[in-house]
Structure 1
Amino acid sequence: MAAVRDGELAALTSPVESTKVRAKRRDLLNHSEVLAAALERGTVLPLRFGVVFENEAALVEGFLRSRQEELAALLRKFEGKVELTVRAQYEENAILAEIVQANPRIAQLREQTRGGQDAATYPLRAELGERVADELQRRTERDRKALLDRLSPLAVDTEVDRERIEHQALRASFLVKRRDVTAFDDVMDELAGTHAGRIRFKYVGPLAPHSFVSVTPLESR
C-alpha cells in the first residue's frame, strides 16, 4: 500500500497485475480494512472497489490534479463526518403474532384455514395472505417513520433504501458528525432494548461516506 500525493491530495494505492480486478472476498475485506484505517486518521472519499489506473502519472494527471478543486471541496464537505448504517429486520414469528393478535378478521381466517390446502379454502387463504401483507406493509411504514424520527435528527443527511425486502422495517445510511456518534450509539442501544424480540438491528460504522458521495475517475481503466 502506498500513498500517491499531489499537493494536498493523496490517493491510497496498491499494484495489480491486471486492469480487470475480480471482487474476491479477501480483496473486498482488505479494501474495507484500508478504508477503515484511513478513516481513523482523517477524511476519506471512497472509490468503488476495482478502480485501476494505468500508472501513477495517469492517477495524478487524470484524476488528482485535473479534479483538484472538486476533490478538495468534497473533502471539506465531509470533514469530521462518517457514515453509519442501520438495518432493522422484523423477527418473523413475533411480527406475525402481533398482526394476528391485533386483527380479529386475520385471526379468524387463520383458524379457518389452519391445515387446509384444498380448493375449498383457497379464497380464505388468499384473503388471509392479502390482509397479512397489507397489515405488514402498514406496520413497516409506521415503524420506519418512527425509527427515522429518532435517528435522522442526529444526522447531517440520511439515505433510505426504499427497496422492499420481506420483513425488513428499515435499511438506511446516516451521515453523522464524529462528535455525535456516541449519541447515535446511545439511541441505537435504546431502540434495540425497546424492540427486543420484535426487531433485530444490524448497526455498522463508522464508515467512509459511501452512500453520500460518488466519485468516478474518468481516466481509470
Structure 2
Amino acid sequence: MMHKAKQFGGRYLYAIADADAAAGGVGGTIGVNGTPVYVIPEGPVAAVVSNIAEKRIRPERSKLSAHHGVVKRLMADTTVLPVAFGTIADSLQAVRNILQENREAFLEQLNRVRGKVEMGLRVTWDVPNIFEYMVNCRPELAALRDEVMGKQRPPSQEDKIELGRLFDRLLAQERERHTEAVVEVLAPHCVEITQNQPREEREVMHLACLVERDDQKRFEEGVFEAAKLFDNHFAFDFNGPWAPHHFVNVAIEV
C-alpha cells in the first residue's frame, strides 16, 4: 500500500505587532503565493503569518513583493517589527513558542519604535567620472596624479596603488564631511539616524532615519533644506515611509 507523504504545514512570518492593534488582521489573499494573511496572538504580542507548504522559498520578485506588501499594509495602521524575508516556522505551535520566548524583547522594541516610521536618504555624486571630479576638488590628489603620470616611464604598480590609496582616503573624508553637514540639518526632525555603508563608489551617504509618523512632512522639508548646501554635482533621493528595518533586531530562530 502506498502512503501519501505528509504535506509540510508551516507558517510564513511577516511581522510582529501588538496583539490588540493587529487583531483586525490584514485581510485578502495578499501573502506569499497568494495566500490569506492572518494573526496569531500570544498574550500582548502577535505574529502576522500565512500558511505555506514549502520549507524554504527563493527570493523571487513576486514573493519579495508580497512580503513587503503585507508589511506595508500593516504599518499603515499600526507599529510593526518587520521579520526578515523567508522566515518560516514549522507549525502554529512553533510560532506561539517564538512569541512566548521573545515576548519581552518584542514588547521593548515595539515600544521603542511605536508611532514611528523609517525614511531613507541616499545622496550620490552626479558626475560622469568620480576620480576626475575628486582631482578637480582636491589639489593633493591632482598633484600626485600629475607626478605619477608625468614620469618618463609608465606608472608602476606601486605608483598606482599609492594614487588609489590617496583617492580612497580623500573620498572617505569627503563622505564624512558631507554626511556630517546633512545629519546636522536632519537631526532635529529625526528620533535617530543610522549611517549605512556606501554601496557604490559614487554614493556619498545612505541614511536610515527614524521619524515620528506625524513628522514626515518636516523630515522632507529638512531634506530640501540640506540639499541647498550642495551644488549640482550632488543628487538627493529620499524614500519611505517604511517599517523600521534598521532600528529593530527581530532575531528569530526557526
SS in 1 for 2:88: coil
Contact 2:42 2:99 in 1 (8 A): yes
Distance 1:44 1:111, change over 3 A: same
Change (3 A) 1:155 1:103: closer
Using structure 1 for the length normalisation, give the TM-score: 0.81
CA distance in 2, matches of 1:58, 1:35: 21
Question: In 1, are the aligned partners of 2:122 and 2:238 still within 8 Å (CA)?
Answer: yes
- Measure, in 2, the Cα distance between the counterparts of 1:4 and 1:67: 14
1:44 to 76, 80, 91: 80
Q: Deviations along 1:53-109, whole A, 9 cap, x unmatched?
A: 12222212x122333333223222211111112221112337656544444565566
Kept in 2, the 8 Å contact 1:94–1:198? The answer is: no
Helix, strand or coil at the partner of 1:151: helix
Deviation at 1:111, TM superposition (A): 6.9
1:99-139 per-position Cα deviation (integer Å, ceiling 9, x unaligned): 4444456556667888x9x972416x736555544433322
Aligned positions, number: 216
**What residue number does 1:31 align with?**
67
Matched residue SS, 2:182: helix
Structure 2 partner of 1:195: 230
- TM-score in terms of structure 2 length: 0.72
SS where residue 82 of structure 2 aligns? coil
Does the 8 Å CA contact 1:2/1:12 hold for their aligned counterparts?
A: yes
CA RMSD of the aligned region, Å?
2.9
**1:74 aligned partner:** 109
| Preserved contact between residue 95 and residue 198 of structure 1 (Cα < 8 Å) | no
Match in the other structure for 1:185: 220
- Once residues 129 and 107 of structure 2 are traced to their aligned partners in structure 1, the CA distance between those partners, rounded to angstroms, is 49
Using the TM superposition, give the Cα deviation of residue 154 of structure 1 relative to its aligned residue in structure 2, in angstroms.
2.2
Identity %: 27
Q: Which has the higher contact order (CA 8 A, sep 6+)?
A: 1
Q: Which runs of 5+ in 2 are unaligned?
A: 1-36
Letter in 1 for 2:127: E
Q: Distance in 2 between matches of 1:146 and 1:87?
A: 14
Q: Amino acid of the residue matched to residue 9 of structure 1?
A: V
What CA distance in whole angstroms lies between the structure 2 residues aligned with 1:51 and 1:21?
9
Give the partner amino acid of 1:175: L
Tell me which residue corresponds to 2:155. Answer: 122
Distance 1:59 1:140, change over 3 A: same
CA distance in 2, matches of 1:180, 1:84: 11
**Residue 56 of structure 1: aligned partner:** 92
State the one-letter code of the partner of 2:110. Answer: L
Q: Unmatched 5+ residue regions in structure 1?
A: none
Structure-2 change in CA distance of 1:63 and 1:134 (3 Å): closer
- Asked whether the equivalents of residues 155 and 175 of structure 1 are also in contact (C-alpha less than 8 Å), the reply is yes
Deviation, 1:213, is 1.0
Query: Residue 198 of structure 2 contacts residue 204 of structure 2 at CA under 8 Å; is this kept in 1?
Result: no
* Cα distance in structure 2, aligned partners of 1:170 and 1:21: 32
Larger relative strand fraction: 2
